[in-house]
Structures are given as structure tokens and as C-alpha cells.
Structure 1
Amino acid sequence: MTNFVGIDIGGTTIKVGLVNQEGQIVRKEAFETPQDQTTLIAKLVQIIQDFQQTTPIAGVGVSVPGVVQADGFLTTAGAVKCLTGVDLKGLLTEKLNLPVAVENDANAAAIAEQWLGAAKGVTNYLSLVLGTGVGGALVINNQIYRGAHARSGEFGWMLVEDDEIDVEMGSLNFRGATVIGLLRRYNQFSADQLTDARIIFERAAQHEVLAQNVLTSYYHSLAKGIINLMVAFDPEKVIIGGGISANETFMTQLNAEIQNVQSVHNSIKDLALPTVVAADLKNEAGIIGAVYQVMQKR
């Protein structure tokens, strides 16, 4: 069976998987993300070569944050600052002599969901990833839409609330993300400084007023952002990724608030809006989606 290496580069951790042609991860490794470019590239090359000692590798797919051009050049690289302005595809191709594909992490996750997950059989859909900020991807006619500057999918920059002092504080990033949205707003008014959003849901279930109020505001902002995307792009489905999407209470309440906002919007209240579902592949989506991209380009 043909095997590929999938790499998911994050700000703190790099995950690597040996993936077969059916999308199954048969071996996984992870290590801390180096902070300098030379060490990071050397580590990637080393681990791929280690895989090659026991398994023939047909190609390498890489998922990375930031603005990724179609040719694999990283205009930005999010939290992995040492890769900003780097032709990552070119570097790895030269060192490995293998086919290499490099993809934005949110795009890779969306592609994986179409191959094996919640978007299977869906031609036009949106994917939102709720984490530190709000990333995402737009798939039109089975293709990632990149935009004129490869910045399509930066849904977190949308303005969903008014803030006259700092406009960005009204963006979906600062209202709908898990970290700089939900956790930040709770911590603003709490003596605790939480780092785990699950505690907010637990406290809301225990009738803590602050947790309930923050979640109500959070759902409302996120619902407005999602409805904005629905009416702008008319997708068949909206897929929510990120750790929070595994929380059934979150998904239920989010869908309820989307319906609530729709019901008071006269122009759309009678329309059939697309379903909003949780992503299926969770933390493995980046690896799987990156591999799918290199499979398609062989």
C-alpha cells in the first residue's frame, strides 16, 4: 500500500503521521516546535528520513498556519514566525527529493473533512476553526477558494459587534474564538484566570450568572458571524472545528442561537439555511488534509 507523510505544524507542537492512501494514520509522532528555521527544517527532514528507513514514502503533505500561496510560499506563518517569507515547499522538495504539498492549516482541515469527514459528498461548504482566533476555509465546486492574495478564510477579521474605542474588539476573533473570545471575556470579569473553556460551560451548568451571561453573548456574536457567511456564500453546510466543537452543549446552543437570530431577521427568517455541524476528524484533520493535497498533485 502507498504511504505518505503528513505534517501539521503548530505554534507549540508539530504532529507527524504516516498515512496510507485510504487516509488512515498508521503511525504518529509529535515534538515541540523549534523556534528557529534551520532547526525546524532539519527536524522535519530527519523524521521523514526516519520513516523512509522502514517504509517507502510517496510524498509529503504539510499543514501550516498563516497565508500560504498556492505554490507553497509562506507569506506569513502565524505563530511559527521563523517560517514567514519561506518557500517551504521548495526547501523540502530539494532536501527530500519527494513530491511536497504545503497548505494553510484551516484549508487542510476543510479538505480532510470533505475526503473522510463531515463534508463528504458536499460540493460547496464553509469550515470555521475556533481556537486562539477564528480561521476557516471556503470550498466552492470542490476547490479551496484562495482569493486574490491567498487570504480567503480569515473569517475572524469580520466585524460582528460595535466597539468605538477599538474596532478589532468587535471582530469575530475577539467575540467568537475560544481563547481570545470566550476565555478572554470571561476572565475580564472574573477573579479567576481560566485557561480551559470547559470550566465556563461547567459553571454555566451550575447556574453561575457570569458564565451564563458570557456564553449568551458568545453564542450571539458567533451566530451573527456564521449567518453573515451563510448569506454571503450560500453553502450547503457549515462545519465547525476546534476543540470546542466536541462539546455537544456548545453545538446545540450555537444552532439554537442561529435559529433565534434568523427568526428576527425578516429577509431570511423563512429561508432554509445550511446545517451547522461539528467536524469529524478533530486533531487529525491537518495531517490527513495535507496528505490529500499531495496525493492529488502526484
Structure 2
Amino acid sequence: MTSNFALGIDIGGSGIKGALVDLTAGDFATERLRIETPQESTPANVAAVVGQIVDNFADQLGDGAIGITVPAIVQHGVTLSAANIHESWVNCPAETIFKETLGRDLVVVNDADAAGVAEVGFGAAKGHPGLVIVTTLGTGIGSAMIHQGVLVPNSELGHLQIDGYVAEKRAAASVRTRENLSWEEYVPRLQRFYETVEFLFSPDLLVVGGGVSKKADKFLPDLTLRTPIVPAQLQNRAGIIGAALLAVATSAHPDGRR
């Protein structure tokens, strides 16, 4: 394939997904391949599965870029945390492990950062010139901050302390499900989270992703904010697309990497 294509791989707690991405269209160029995440999701075991996905697309990919998302803080290829994956990812040289296992150059990025970059590149915030904050409401709350098209990595706004609580312990979508909250009961928790983010960062646009964004009409109209807030558009494609975009950007500007 041409340089207009890159491989994005999205590592989650239950599945590892990959697809070739058309960087011009901002969408999948192939069918997505999904393989179950190993029960013991150590870096070595996950890298072996990622290798299967790379092998599947190798002929079409050629020497194209590879981006891999992980549910962790990632600084210079090292994962500093672990969410829904094995604890051995904490302080792990993940990018080096993947490179040694696959024998290829690649880049490892935070999953929410990848989703945010995709939404700014081709989704709900496409072409937005200001400060965009993308949040993903799921098991926890992921976040991505993009200012004038440039990612500020590892924002981790779900870990803000609000009213004595870690924000995601009160406002993540999983909490609504676990506590069987109605939308009327859940909205005040989202209101408190988003008004705090708004006060701290004065964004120009807020984008809400995660599976719950499919029901945005149930809660977004009831939030009272100065900042426009809209649902994400790319849904579960965002991680793969963003990983591919960040892989190419990092290849082009290696000194400006995360």
C-alpha cells in the first residue's frame, strides 16, 4: 500500500482490534480484525497477539507506520499506569517490548489521546482551531486535550479530585450502570465534572465519547455550560484511527513525540 495508509491497533481489556487506516479519508481501509485480549494480559502476552494482527495486514501495510493504543499513561514509550490490563504494565518499557517482539518500528500511545486526535482530525471536532477537550465515558473517564491541532498528552482528567472524590469514581458510565442510576440522577454528576473541567481549562469545545455517547440525547441537553458540548462521531473506530494518525505524525517528527 501507499504511504496514505497506516496500521492502527487498539488494546482493550477484552479485545485487541486492528485495521489499516486511510489517512486521507480518516477511516478504515480494511475490515477490522479483533482478537480476544489474553486472560493474563501481560505486555509479552499482549505483544504476541498484536504480532498476529500485524502479520494479518503485513502484505498490505508494507513498511507503513504502526500505532498501538494502550489504556495507560504513556510517556516516551513507557507505560506508567494500567487500567483493565495486567499490573505489570506499570513502569513498563512497552514500546521497546513491542518493537523487539514485532521487529518493526512503531509508536505506543494512550487510548484516550488517540481517540481525541481522531475526533479532531476527522470527527466531531474536525478542523477546530481552538482548545478541544475530548472525554471518553466508560469504565473510567479518559481525556485528550488538543490545542490548535496539537495534542497535549496524558491529561487524565478523570482523576481530578472533585468534592472529595476522584471524578471517574462518580461520573464514569460504568458507575451509572453499577449504581443503577437514572439519567436524572446521573446528569448532576456529569454537570459537576464538566463544569470543573470548563473552569480549569476554558476549552472552546467539549466532545463526549465512549459507548454512552450513543445516548447523548439523554444527558447532553441537560448540562448547563458556557462551552459547546457535542457527542463524538467516530465511536469505536476512534482509537484505531487516532493510533494510525499519531504513528505517522511521530514518524515525521520523532523529536516532538510524547
Q: TM-score, normalised by structure 2?
A: 0.86
Once residues 246 and 61 of structure 2 are traced to their aligned partners in structure 1, the CA distance between those partners, rounded to angstroms, is 20
Cα–Cα, structure 1 residues 257 and 51, in superposed 2: closer, same or farther, change >3 Å?
closer
Once residues 232 and 217 of structure 1 are traced to their aligned partners in structure 2, the CA distance between those partners, rounded to angstroms, is 24
Once residues 126 and 255 of structure 1 are traced to their aligned partners in structure 2, the CA distance between those partners, rounded to angstroms, is 18
* Aligned position for 2:224: 258
Equivalent position amino acid for 1:116 in 2: F
Superposed CA offset, 1:106-148 (max 9, x none) = 11100000110111111311111100111112222322223xx
Once residues 60 and 177 of structure 2 are traced to their aligned partners in structure 1, the CA distance between those partners, rounded to angstroms, is 44
Matches within 5 A, 1:10-49: 10-22=12-24, 23-25=26-28, 26-34=30-38, 35=40, 36-49=42-55
* Aligned position for 1:141: 148
After TM superposition, give the deviation of residue 97 of structure 1 in Å. 4.3
Cα–Cα, structure 1 residues 185 and 116, in superposed 2: closer, same or farther, change >3 Å?
same
Superposed CA offset, 1:171-225 (max 9, x none) = 321221111x211222xxxxxxxxxxxxxxxxxxxxxxxx6xx422310121121
Matches within 5 A, 1:109-188: 109-122=115-128, 123-146=130-153, 150=154, 152=155, 154-161=156-163, 167-168=164-165, 171-179=166-174, 181-186=175-180
Once residues 61 and 168 of structure 2 are traced to their aligned partners in structure 1, the CA distance between those partners, rounded to angstroms, is 42
Once residues 202 and 173 of structure 2 are traced to their aligned partners in structure 1, the CA distance between those partners, rounded to angstroms, is 25
Q: Is the 8 A contact 2:187 2:222 kept in 1?
A: no
Matches within 5 A, 1:1-298: 1-2=2-3, 3-22=5-24, 23-25=26-28, 26-34=30-38, 35=40, 36-69=42-75, 71-81=76-86, 82-122=88-128, 123-146=130-153, 150=154, 152=155, 154-161=156-163, 167-168=164-165, 171-179=166-174, 181-186=175-180, 214-250=182-218, 253-258=219-224, 273-298=226-251
Once residues 244 and 225 of structure 1 are traced to their aligned partners in structure 2, the CA distance between those partners, rounded to angstroms, is 16
Gaps of 5+ in 2: 252-258
Q: TM-score, normalised by structure 1?
A: 0.75
Superposed CA offset, 1:60-103 (max 9, x none) = 1011111111x111112211124333222222233444331111
Superposed CA offset, 1:34-55 (max 9, x none) = 1233322122123212321344
Once residues 178 and 48 of structure 2 are traced to their aligned partners in structure 1, the CA distance between those partners, rounded to angstroms, is 36
Q: Is the 8 A contact 1:255 1:276 kept in 2?
A: no
Equivalent position amino acid for 1:120 in 2: K
State which structure, 1 or 2, has the greater radius of gyration over its C-alpha atoms: 1
After TM superposition, give the deviation of residue 14 of structure 1 in Å. 0.6
Superposed CA offset, 1:207-251 (max 9, x none) = xxxx6xx4223101211211111121111100000111111432x
Once residues 175 and 118 of structure 1 are traced to their aligned partners in structure 2, the CA distance between those partners, rounded to angstroms, is 26
Q: Is the 8 A contact 1:160 1:221 kept in 2?
A: no
Q: Is the 8 A contact 1:19 1:27 kept in 2?
A: no
Once residues 145 and 93 of structure 2 are traced to their aligned partners in structure 1, the CA distance between those partners, rounded to angstroms, is 24
